[in-house]
Amino acid sequence: MSAADTTTPTKAPPARQASPPAVPRAPRRRRAPGGSAVPWALLAPCLLILALVMGYPLVRLVTLSFQKFGQSQLWGFQPAESVGLDNFTKVLGDSEFWSVVLRTIIFAGGSVVFTMVAGMLIALLLQRVSGWVKTLVNIALVAGWGMPIIVATTVFKWLFDSDYGVFNAVLSKLPGVDMVGHNWFASGPQGLAVIMLLVVWGAVPFVVITLSAGLTQVPQELEEAARLDGAGSWGVFRYVTLPILKPIVVMLTTLSVIWDMGVFPQVFVMRGGHPEAEFQLLTTYSYDRAFVVNDYAQGSAIALLTVLLLLGVVAVYMRQMLKIGEVE
Amino acid sequence: MSAVATPRRTPSGPRRSKLGWNVLGLLVFVTAGFPVYWMLNTAFKPAKDAIDPDPSLFPTGVTLDNFRRALDIADFWGPVGRSLIVSLSVVVIGIVVGMLAALAISRFAFRGRKIVIVGILAVQMVPLVAMIIPVFLLLNDLDQYDRLSGLVITYLTFVLPFTVWTLRGFIVNIPKELEEAAMVDGCSRTGAFLRVVFPLLAPGMVATSVYAFIQAWNEYLYALMLMSQKNQTATVWLGNFTTKHGTEYAPMMAGATMMAVPIVVLFLIVQRKMAAGLTAGAVKG
């Protein structure tokens, strides 16, 4: 510390004359490599907890997927024995697994695209409406956002009830449409479309509110300059607004991918705890294998494959977050 | 079209052009708000009106019967009490531990900082569902299965990374110079933090706490998997309305209302602050 004091004056004098308080010197001193015990001490509790409740189960997830682990291993009647890649070959060799993967990708991909597009459009719209409309929309959005997923799922189940659901009743009021008694959950694609609507409805508010916050940071002058140069609304958005929002958009998209790949209660509750084969997504499929068939090892293998599938996306997200963390 | 019109806009121009946008905005309001409206509408309707195949869009009669029925179904206050205990414990631990970690990340330069950030963020990426099986086994081994304390420690997996990252966002927004000035004036590093940073951080901490509380309160999967029927939490309680005789929708919507309204109100209060914390640095980066 004192060393820093004695070495800085060579550069310091002119600055000191300009600004009396010696503030600018302090950060340089703090950044010195010494004293790294303090941050680690601060981090210790957090890292310990995460290692216990996250690290250990993660390791266990990996080891489990290489073992034979059913009911008798769970209750300790038999030791878990290693079976190598058996679980994976079984899972990967099952055609049902691949249709579940495809279904999950379509479902999550569709949810993410609809969420991002709707979110962006609504955020842009909110910039153009009167204050009171903005307030109304915000209240509706936040009400949806804050609603527990389980409550939202229950409400959607009610909206789309085949006999008493208001959705069928309203649709049937349109000329030439008769949806009375239509069961949306009789087929997988239709049922999953309803669930996708639920997921998008629940996810849009976060995207809108975050993008709105981002939009306020887009310099007005830049947009005006572009307009004066002859850019239309689309041009301004494409070449001025979007590039500035890009970090937020990347963050939101990746988060959405992670969340939408992890959709579970929506399907589980919508189908009364027993999703049919054509409703299975990777999450429910893994759950099904583990807790319905009682093959915890295969369930773990499926869960692990899901995590690996996500890793590609996560890598992109990480780079973005690291960039943010770097800038401080 | 608008590009040409913009430079010479008359005072009435912008106002007139707002009408179209406002109509669109109201459309969004109605669409986004309808599920919430329909929940409230059904909750206050007489139960027999709820099962009208041609439901009226506006309330005709108002009753509190559904709420009475909801409170009767399998004890409402037990699950709510348990949810409160779990969520509050998670918030207290999450905020204290998360704050220390956030300070380390945002105010210190040290070797391994990058790895720690990646590690904490990576934890957020693992879907909860992937972890149920090993978490279930872990709690079984620790004798924490079907216990509120077991639920608390598992909830920390998703609450902690979140509190660390958002608190970091709030701390970063407080200029370092303030702390430094206090230290020049004779405060110790801890003193500078407690007297200068902490008060400025308070609103952000409140927002983060509320948000973490809501996350814990809303969790469903672990609550379902790790707790037996007698220890169920509020979210799982909502499943009690569906029996083999069908679903009692009107009381269920009353139950949903009771669970959602306090949370939504809390949310409305802190959401602006939250958006600021979550995006801190995102644009500048």
- pLDDT (tens digit per residue) in A67-116: 988 888 877 777 778 888 888 999 999 999 999 999 999 999 999 999 99
In terms of Cβ atoms closer than 10 Å to its own Cβ (0-12, 13-18, 19+), residue B19 is: exposed
Q: A207 near A115, Cβ under 8 Å? A: yes
Which residues from B are below 8 Å from A244, CB to CB?
283
Give the C-alpha separation, A284 to A262, whole Å: 9
pLDDT in tens, A179-236: 788 889 988 899 999 999 999 999 999 899 889 888 888 888 888 888 888 888 888 8
Which residues from A are below 8 Å from B238, CB to CB?
150-151, 154
Residue B217 domain-assigned?
A: yes
Q: Where is pLDDT greater, at A122 or B267?
A: A122
A49 touches chain B (CB under 8 A): yes
What pTM does this model have?
0.83
Structure tokens at A303: 């869960």
Residue B233 domain-assigned?
A: yes
Structure tokens at B4: 């040409």
Q: Which domain holds residue B256?
A: 75-282
The pLDDT, as a whole number, for residue A12 is: 36
Q: Tally Cβ neighbours within 10 Å of residue A27.
A: 12
Shortest CA gap A11–chain B (Å): 20
Closest CA to A100 of A255, A316, A309: A309
Q: What is the mean pLDDT of residues A233-251?
A: 87
Which backbone phi and psi does A177 adopt, to 5 degrees? -110, 130
Average pLDDT, chain A: 83
Rounded to the nearest 10°, the torsion over CA A129, A130, A131, A137 is -40
A 54-93 → B contacts, CB under 8 A? 54, 56-58, 60-61, 64, 74
Q: Report CB contact under 8 Å: A58, B156.
A: no
Mutate to test the interface with B, among A145, A248, A324 (most CBs of B within 10 A): A324
Look up the CATH architecture of domain A100-294.
Orthogonal Bundle (1.10)
Q: What distances in angstroms separate CA B220 from CA A181, B68, B81, B102, one per listed residue? A: 30, 24, 16, 27
The pLDDT, as a whole number, for residue B242 is: 74
> What's B125's DSSP letter?
H
Residue B56 domain-assigned?
A: no
Whether the pLDDT of residue A117 is over 90: the answer is yes
Closest CA to A267 of A328, A193, A176: A193
Q: Domains of chain A: which residue ranges?
A: 100-294
A125 touches chain B (CB under 8 A): yes
CATH number at residue B148: 1.10.3720.10
- Report the range of poorest mean pLDDT among A3-12, A210-219, A301-310, B8-17: A3-12
A327 pLDDT band, cuts 50/70/90, is low
Give the C-alpha separation, A192 to A104, whole Å: 10
The pLDDT, as a whole number, for residue A28 is: 44
Q: Report CB contact under 8 Å: B29, A209.
A: no
Q: Tally Cβ neighbours within 10 Å of residue A10.
A: 7
Q: What distances in angstroms separate CA A302 from CA A64, A262, A269, B222, one per listed residue? A: 11, 13, 21, 18
Q: A172 near B55, Cβ under 8 Å? A: no
Q: What is the mean pLDDT of residues A125-145?
A: 91
Residue B35 domain-assigned?
A: no
Which residues from B are below 8 Å from A295, CB to CB?
none
Q: What is the block-wise mean pLDDT of chain B (285 residues), using blocks of 10 residues?
A: 44 65 94 92 85 78 86 86 95 95 89 84 77 87 89 91 88 85 85 86 88 89 89 87 77 89 82 64 40
Whether the pLDDT of residue A328 is over 50: the answer is no
Shortest CA gap A277–chain B (Å): 18
Of residues A23, A50, A205, nearest to B123 (C-beta):
A50
Residue B69 domain-assigned?
A: no
Closest CA to B76 of B263, B197, B238: B238
Mutate to test the interface with B, among A5, A46, A200, A284 (most CBs of B within 10 A): A46
Residue in chain A nearest B39 by alpha carbon? A155
Residue B221 domain-assigned?
A: yes
Q: How many domains does chain B have?
A: 1
The pLDDT, as a whole number, for residue A29 is: 44
Q: How large is the ipTM?
A: 0.82
Give the C-alpha separation, B232 to B146, whole Å: 9
Shortest CA gap B81–chain A (Å): 17
The pLDDT, as a whole number, for residue B7 is: 45
The pLDDT, as a whole number, for residue A199 is: 96
Which residues from B are below 8 Å from A290, CB to CB?
132-133
Torsional class of A66: left (φ above 0), alpha (ψ -120 to 50), beta (otherwise): alpha
pLDDT in tens, A247-258: 888 888 888 888
Q: Report CB contact under 8 Å: B125, A314.
A: yes
Residue B17 domain-assigned?
A: no
Residue B216 domain-assigned?
A: yes
Of residues B124, B164, B235, nearest to A148 (C-beta):
B235
A282 pLDDT band, cuts 50/70/90, is very high
